[in-house]
Chains A and B, each alone.
Chain A
Amino acid sequence: MISDLRGATAIVGVGETPYYKRGTSPDDEQKLTLRAIVAACQDAGIDPRDVDGFASYADDANAGHTLIRALGTREMRWSSMVWGGGGGGTLGAVAMAAAAIHSGQAETVAVYRTIAQSRSGRLQDAVAHYDMGAHYTRNLISSPAQICGLRTQRLIAQGVPPSAFEALVRAQYFHASRNPRAQAYGKPLTGDAYRDARPVVDPFGLFDCSRENDVSVAVILTSAARARDLARPPVYLLGAAQGGIVGEAWENDPDYSSGGFEPIAARLWAMTGLGPDDVDVAQIYDNFSGPAVAAIISHGLCPLDAAGAFFTYDNLIAEGGLLPVNTSGGLIAEGNAHGMGLVAEGVRQLRGESCNPVAGAEVCLVTGGPSTPLLSSALLGTAATV
């Protein structure tokens, strides 16, 4: 059944700080957050004092009530957090903002994520601390890279060739090479350089791994009715779902190779009336290359047994690709805002403002956090889709 939320809210503003190398931000987390929210308000053409709601995820340290004095907020009506330590909550936070607006509890909500090493430490440690207890660390598993490596080795055993990961990473570096915000701006990646990279955890080399940055990214959501009166073309939230893969215990979910999005994708299609064939472009959470490939497969965008033919460089780039993926460069090549950069790029793509525009793109899939008990996805659409 099509959800009432379909097209009821829209993203009307995007703002971000530069992607600073981790540990090098000139500002603390709160100031980074304020910069991003104010920039998003300027983009939307709204007064920052009119933001009346705040939503984030991954235990972000910058709660709404710590921001309102600096923003001059007239009335804070909503402030909420999606639990969890990883990027799986990204689209859950967007959905929470939409729920607040649709139910009349807020009108204009900022969704944001801020990371600065000076405040929150290394991102990889924060994620590991949340999801990887003593039965991991005492067995010498202390990085998400190791768990993602184990899952990806299983994906390879299921028939997905390593060429899929190389194709995705090189497509992302191509996109980033043309994106002035990206860490890899001006730096496309050759196949030889990819394969010669320092090994990290099999099958991942250095370029299969996301970066860590000091950064804040914010978007502003409001009602569809208000969105139409604002400065920018509204990008509508068509649907969003959160949940995750469940097993009897951690690392015991039934299909260890899966990205785990099957139930979320099913709900996403049902609530929007859309299907995998309607997705024109995708921004896929890419902590590592393998889980991103698994996420695409588990959304039904590519059958597992066709992955070798599907995941090619030509299919994944914005210019003529069958499914352009991570058109900003993603966490791997643009920079790591823990997933919010993917939301920002989804909006830019549907406004026609991406550095790597996909001709005629109307529907964009955005995902957060593969292969964990907390995942989320959303479909964004242009005015033509509502």
Chain B
Amino acid sequence: MRWDPVAMDGVIHSMTWTRHPFSTSMVSITPFVSVLVALPQAGGARLLGTLAGAADDSAIGAQVEGVIASTDEGLPALRWKLTT
């Protein structure tokens, strides 16, 4: 049992527009796209995240690449961008 690094290239397994700010950290960014991203190179394992950047072309099946961002509290967080 070990951890192997994999590329952060994924496919949107599901996505939805979050339009209501459920927490104070969402107020300034709603609406935004929440995604569940599958990583084919990791056996299809799925990760939750938020789509950053242009989101109008987001759809189930779209290709994305991930970046490690930081929350206001300094915690690592997953943000995904559409790749063309």
Partner-B contacts on A (CB < 8 A)? 124, 134-143, 145-146, 149-154, 157, 198-203, 248-249, 251-252, 256
Contacts and interface: CB of A to CB of B under 8 A. Distances in A.
Contacts of A150: 14-16, 34-36
A251 B49 CA distance: 12
Contacts of A137: 23
Given A146-B16, A202-B17, A251-B46, A138 B75 contact: yes
B19 A154 contact: no
A136 B48 contact: yes
A206 B14 CA distance: 21
A145 B50 CA distance: 15
Contacts of A201: 16-20, 34
B67 interface: no
B22 interface: yes
Given A139-B34, A146-B22, 14 more contacts: A138-B75, A140-B23, A140-B29, A140-B32, A140-B34, A140-B50, A149-B18, A149-B34, A150-B16, A153-B16, A154-B13, A202-B19, A249-B46, A252-B45
Interface of B: 13-20, 22-23, 25-26, 29, 32, 34-36, 45-46, 48-50, 60, 71, 73, 75-78
Contacts, number: 86
A256 B75 contact: no
A142 B22 contact: yes
B78 A139 contact: yes
Nearest to A136: B48
B69 to A, nearest CB: 9
Main secondary structure, interface of A, reads: mixed
Contacts of A146: 16, 18, 22, 34
A141 B23 CA distance: 9
A252 B17 contact: no
Minimum-distance CB pairs A-B, first 5: A149-B16, A143-B22, A154-B14, A138-B77, A199-B19
Contacts of A143: 20, 22
Given A134-B75, A140-B26, A256-B36, A251 B20 contact: no
A290 B51 CA distance: 23
Given A142-B23, A200-B20, A153 B50 contact: no
10 contacts: A138-B73, A139-B50, A140-B50, A143-B20, A149-B18, A150-B15, A154-B60, A199-B17, A199-B19, A200-B19
